[in-house]
């Protein structure tokens, strides 16, 4: 009996030490993720998309709702920006911390989800991969909704699994709350919500022995999500109709751009290969129901987006499915750790994290380059006189430039040649172009008698051309 008691004491001590070691690793991963996300957070100026969020959130709440309703996503992230602007102002650094905080929280949420599904070892690897993912890191430093989308999807899935472990009315309320946050984060949040909820209904509940009352509470929680989202769903449905009839800027599916950005989504060729091998290893053998949910959540939003884009209007772009990145990394980590134990798992974890660290070398790839509107604005402020005007092509670039030139005296916008003003009364016209759209407008201005004097290129594919008669 004494030997048995000693063995139990040693096992308990070993478990406590192991738990402390795991928590220390998670803490280190969170620290690295936070440093990366807050480092140089305000160094770069806002790009076009960030400026659009600023325009929608900078005035009153009524203006925020009205302006967001004329865009293509729900208002939750803009509400966060509204609060930040009122408290701290609207500098680049002030606008981006919400995204950075959501990104860091997502790292912790991935580990929490792993403890409910694929285990702590896979959770540490998945959290580390997310912490240094170039794709997730970039969108954790952008004043847009994407890091919120990824966090909300992860937390909603985790609350569903948590409810499964110990069903209660309170945990059902958390399912409803996190589901509402998810659907109000982004249009693809609704797709993530439906995917996770359907996967639970199809793969988890049939093999779970729960009292009918507990299953009813979970279904009622998701019914609350559907009812709560219904008003904005009608707005998005109308916006979808507008997109289908008038067209949208997103490229058609299966273009080279989509496949190139898929590599950025995965973190490059090296990390992407490691992730995909882990995903394939994960499907070998018998799959637990929790892991099936992760696989469905990973691939269904991507597949549905591509199918809808093929049959109807293009609505798919890789950053829209950032909510599928956390489960993708978890199933990959699950695949790599599925057949190892003890010290071998530790070595494998260290090797995968080290390989993932190499992807940070890709962070300066052209895909992650913002338009340098700060430099463009400074250039125009130095050159332009009160009798000069600025022509923006395409017109939606006005947001990025207006953030830095808030008192510009003469500015036109054009998305197509017919949008050019018939009367362009100015001493000099500074054409601010997306470099891919320059030639046709230069030819048209030459036809109207304007001479292009000089050209200046800026980071992010922006080109400024000065014209005079």
> For the segment 333-357, what is each residue's pLDDT rounded down to a tens digit?
999 887 666 555 656 665 666 666 6
Work out the burial of residue 279: count CB atoms within 10 Å of its CB; fewer than 13 is exposed, 13-18 middle, 19 or more buried: buried
Choose between 444 and 209: higher pLDDT: 444
Give the span between the Cα atoms of 428 and 452, in whole angstroms: 10
What's the confidence (pLDDT) of residue 362? 52
CB 430 within 8 A of CB 439: no
Task: Please identify which residue in the block is written with the tokens 């197509």.
Answer: 416
What's the confidence (pLDDT) of residue 10? 45
Instruction: Count Cβ atoms below 10 Å from residue 406 Cβ, excluding itself.
Output: 8
Phi and psi angles of residue 115, each rounded to the nearest 5 degrees, phi first: -65, -20
Of these ranges, 116-120, 258-262, 359-363, the one predicted with the greatest mean pLDDT is: 116-120
Give the span between the Cα atoms of 139 and 41, in whole angstroms: 11
Give the span between the Cα atoms of 258 and 256, in whole angstroms: 5
Which residues, 6+ apart, have CB-to-CB distance to 454 below 8 Å?
A: 465, 466
Rama region for 268: left / alpha / beta (φ>0; ψ in -120 to 50; rest) = left
To 5 degrees, how large is the angle CA 179–CA 182–CA 183? 90
Which residues, 6+ apart, have CB-to-CB distance to 461 below 8 Å?
A: 371, 434, 435, 436
Work out the burial of residue 163: count CB atoms within 10 Å of its CB; fewer than 13 is exposed, 13-18 middle, 19 or more buried: buried
Residue 92 has pLDDT above 70, yes or no: yes
Q: Give the pLDDT band (50/70/90) at residue 365.
A: very low
> For the segment 109-164, what is each residue's pLDDT rounded down to a tens digit?
999 999 999 988 889 889 999 998 989 999 999 999 999 999 999 999 999 999 98
Which residues, 6+ apart, have CB-to-CB distance to 101 below 8 Å?
A: none
> How much of the chain is in helix, strand and coil states, percent to nearest 5?
70, 5, 25
CB 366 within 8 A of CB 38: no
From the list 305, 464, 316, the residue with the least C-alpha distance to 391 is 464
Going from the C-alpha of 14 to that of each of 106, 343, 354, 456, the distances in angstroms are: 29, 14, 27, 65
Give the span between the Cα atoms of 192 and 2, in whole angstroms: 54
CB 331 within 8 A of CB 295: yes
What's the confidence (pLDDT) of residue 158? 97
Of these ranges, 188-202, 205-219, 248-262, the one predicted with the greatest mean pLDDT is: 188-202
From the list 44, 142, 49, 48, the residue with the least C-alpha distance to 401 is 48
What's the confidence (pLDDT) of residue 419? 86
Give the span between the Cα atoms of 333 and 129, in whole angstroms: 9
Give the span between the Cα atoms of 189 and 211, in whole angstroms: 29
Rama region for 162: left / alpha / beta (φ>0; ψ in -120 to 50; rest) = alpha
Phi and psi angles of residue 428, each rounded to the nearest 5 degrees, phi first: -135, 140
The DSSP H or E segment spanning 411 is: strand 411-413
Q: Give the pLDDT band (50/70/90) at residue 364.
A: very low
């Amino acid at each position: 009996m004494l030997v048995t008691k000693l063995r139990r004491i040693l096992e308990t001590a070993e478990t406590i030490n192991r738990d402390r070691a795991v928590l220390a690793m998670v803490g280190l991963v969170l620290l690295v993720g936070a440093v990366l996300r807050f480092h140089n957070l305000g160094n770069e100026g806002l790009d076009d998309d960030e400026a659009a969020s600023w325009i929608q959130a900078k005035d009153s709440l009524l203006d925020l709702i009205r302006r967001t309703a004329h865009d293509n996503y729900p208002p939750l992230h803009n509400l966060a920006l509204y609060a930040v602007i009122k408290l701290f102002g609207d500098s680049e650094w002030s606008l981006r911390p919400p995204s950075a905080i959501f990104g860091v929280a997502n790292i912790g949420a991935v580990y929490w989800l792993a403890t409910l599904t694929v285990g702590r070892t896979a959770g540490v690897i998945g959290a580390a991969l997310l912490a240094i993912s170039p794709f997730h890191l970039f969108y954790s430093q952008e004043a847009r909704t994407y890091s919120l989308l990824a966090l909300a999807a992860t937390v909603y899935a985790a609350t569903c699994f948590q409810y499964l472990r110990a069903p209660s009315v309170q945990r059902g309320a958390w399912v409803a709350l996190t589901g509402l946050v998810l659907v109000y984060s982004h249009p693809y949040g609704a797709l993530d919500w439906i995917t996770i909820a359907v996967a639970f209904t199809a793969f988890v509940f049939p093999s779970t022995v729960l009292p009918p009352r507990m299953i009813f509470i979970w279904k009622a929680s998701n019914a609350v999500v559907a009812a709560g989202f219904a008003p904005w769903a009608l707005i998005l449905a109308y916006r979808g109709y507008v997109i289908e009839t008038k067209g949208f800027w997103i490229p058609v599916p299966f273009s080279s751009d989509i496949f190139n950005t898929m590599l950025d989504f995965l973190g490059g060729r090296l990390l992407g290969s490691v992730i995909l091998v882990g995903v394939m290893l994960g499907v070998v053998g018998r799959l637990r129901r929790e892991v099936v949910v992760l696989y469905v959540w990973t691939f269904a939003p991507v597949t549905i987006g591509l199918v809808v884009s093929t049959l109807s209007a293009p609505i798919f772009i890789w950053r829209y499915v950032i909510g599928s990145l956390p489960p993708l990394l978890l199933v990959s980590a699950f695949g790599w750790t599925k057949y190892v134990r003890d010290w071998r798992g530790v070595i494998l974890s260290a090797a995968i994290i080290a390989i993932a660290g190499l992807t940070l070398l890709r962070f300066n790839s052209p895909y992650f380059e913002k338009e340098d509107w700060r430099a463009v604005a400074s250039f125009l402020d130095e050159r332009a006189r009160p009798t000069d005007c600025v022509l923006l092509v395409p017109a939606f670039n006005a947001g990025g430039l207006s953030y830095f030139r808030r008192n510009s005296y003469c500015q036109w916008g054009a998305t197509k040649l017919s949008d050019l003003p018939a009367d362009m009364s100015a001493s000099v016209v500074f054409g601010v172009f997306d470099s891919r759209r320059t030639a046709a407008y230069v030819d048209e201005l030459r036809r109207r008698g304007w001479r292009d004097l000089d050209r200046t290129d800026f980071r992010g594919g922006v080109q400024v051309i000065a014209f005079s008669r």
